[in-house]
Amino acid sequence: MSDLLSDARRAWVTEAITRVEADANRSADTHLVPFPLPGAWGVDLYLKDESSHPTGSLKHRLARSLFLYGLCNGWIGPDTTVVEASSGSTAVSESYFARMLGLPFVAVVPATTSQEKLELIRFQGGRCHLVEDAGSCVSEAYRLAAELGGHFMDQFTYAERATDWRGNNNIAEAIYQQMAMERHPVPQWIVVGAGTGGTSATIGRFIRYRRHATRLCVVDPENSAFYPSWRSGDPNVHTAKPSRIEGIGRQRVERSFEPHVVDRMELVPDAASIAAAHAASEVLGRRVGGSTGTSLWGAFGIIAEMLAQGRTGSVVTLLADGGERYRHTYYSPEWLAAQELDLEPFGNTVDRFLKTGEWAPPAMP
Ligand SMILES: *Cc1c(COP(=O)(O)O)cnc(C)c1O
């Protein structure tokens, strides 16, 4: 590159980083919302409401981190087409940042991705490249990036390292700051799902770095490789089918998933995730996404244990995205019937828990 060209490129990168930082500076952090439980229980539950980001999910944080990482590494310049393999939400958030920088963006998404999400990607200015086999999104993204002379963001590899785990306003630091004035400011448990694994890696590392007593629980849906791999220690687990809970559960153990910072994992049936999402939507007066249901199911089970042991404290989990994105799936009776999902026994479990604190889930098949 000539000096003139490299000066121009450097000036562009400087301006690009300014824009991303200015966007963050204009934004407030997301709310930490109390989930109402009987006060006499002595156990408090909170949801970090990641749906309130400008692009509607916790992937807003990841997209910002991945863009900054790519810019500071010299991987993204003024002529770069940005490519991502994504089940939807990451692509929505990355489209937002690509447009902010005037860069073309292509999302390689499974053909099964909800229409709502495809529309959101296009609304943010991204292009969608649909693939039939969800398992080939990554190889197709590599191919497309090479063909276009672009950059493949590769969220499943870089999520854990693009985020500043020691602080810099990451999600963990924000949670502890927002808990400071609560009656149990240091959570007993933080419960999250894993898609890239980036969120659990950031929170797990931060807990250790700050020497908090908090334990980290990762909830995992059916057909995900994370849970069996964590149990067995085998990093090469593959599953036959993709997860039905969008955003979490992967067919292989992604590189961004850090198993050693996870204190506990719980396998959550899909019908339980969706039943908990429905119940939470009633309680909160607004619809939440499927992975929020998975997280709440895990949190409810842990809170019931604490109650049975006579312990008090707090539990924090995530409202990772809202339910508007899933009108034609988790909130559609037709879709639920077609998937042969019977929510009723799981809904009854949640109702009984919210009334009595007792946890009696149906036997796993
Ligand atoms: C990505 C995602 C998660 C999991 O977050 P990771 O940091 O990728 O593990 C959970 N819920 C939703 C809705 C997501 O989009």
Query: What is the number of alpha carbons within 13 Å of residue 218 lying toward its C-beta?
Result: 30
Report, as an integer, the average pLDDT of 268-294. Answer: 98
In three-state secondary structure terms, 165 is coil
Which atom of ligand 1 is nearest to 256's Cα? 9
Query: Looking at the predicted structure, is the pLDDT value of residue 134 above 90?
Result: no
**What percentage of the chain exceeds 70 in pLDDT?**
99
Fold of 24-54+166-356: Rossmann fold (3.40.50)
Burial class (CB in 10 A: 0-12, 13-18, 19+), 178: middle
* Average pLDDT of every residue of the chain: 96
- Residue-wise pLDDT for 56-65, tens only, equals 999 999 999 9
Report, as an integer, the average pLDDT of 131-138. Answer: 88
Query: Looking at the predicted structure, is the pLDDT value of residue 1 above 90?
Result: no
**Looking at residue 205, what is its pLDDT?**
98
- Residue-wise pLDDT for 296-317, tens only, equals 999 999 999 999 999 999 999 9
Residues with CB under 6 A from ligand 1: 57-59, 89, 159, 193-200, 247-248, 289, 291, 320-321
Range from 110-119, 164-173, 227-236, 240-249 carrying the lowest mean pLDDT: 110-119
**Looking at residue 5, what is its pLDDT?**
74
Report, as an integer, the average pLDDT of 174-182. Answer: 98
Confidence of residue 365 (pLDDT cuts 50, 70, 90): low
Q: Does domain 59-159 have CATH number 2.40.110.10?
A: no
Choice from 196, 324, 326 to test ligand 1 binding pocket (greatest atom count within 8 A of CB): 196
User: 89-101 and 115-123 are packed helices; what angle lies between their axes, rounded to 10 degrees?
Assistant: 10
Identical fold at 24-54+166-356 and 59-159? yes
Choice from 49, 50, 51, 59 to test ligand 1 binding pocket (greatest atom count within 8 A of CB): 59
Q: Give the start-to-end residue ranges of the domains of the chain.
A: 24-54+166-356, 59-159
d(CA 264, CA 169): 25
**Looking at residue 65, what is its pLDDT?**
97
d(CA 79, CA 248): 32
Query: Looking at the predicted structure, is the pLDDT value of residue 161 above 90?
Result: yes
- Residue-wise pLDDT for 194-207, tens only, equals 999 999 999 999 99
Whole-structure pTM value: 0.96
Confidence of residue 4 (pLDDT cuts 50, 70, 90): confident
Report, as an integer, the average pLDDT of 64-76. Answer: 97
Q: What is the DSSP string of 192-204?
A: EE-SSSHHHHHHH
**Looking at residue 363, what is its pLDDT?**
86
Confidence of residue 117 (pLDDT cuts 50, 70, 90): confident
Distance 281 CA to ligand 1 centre (A): 19
Burial class (CB in 10 A: 0-12, 13-18, 19+), 246: buried
d(CA 64, CA 168): 13
**Looking at residue 112, what is its pLDDT?**
82
Element at 218 (helix H, strand E) = strand 215-221
Distance 196 CA to ligand 1 centre (A): 7
Choice from 51, 57, 92, 120 to test ligand 1 binding pocket (greatest atom count within 8 A of CB): 57
Q: Which string of b and e fits 105-119 if b means at least 16 CB within 10 Å?
A: bbbbbbeebbeebbe
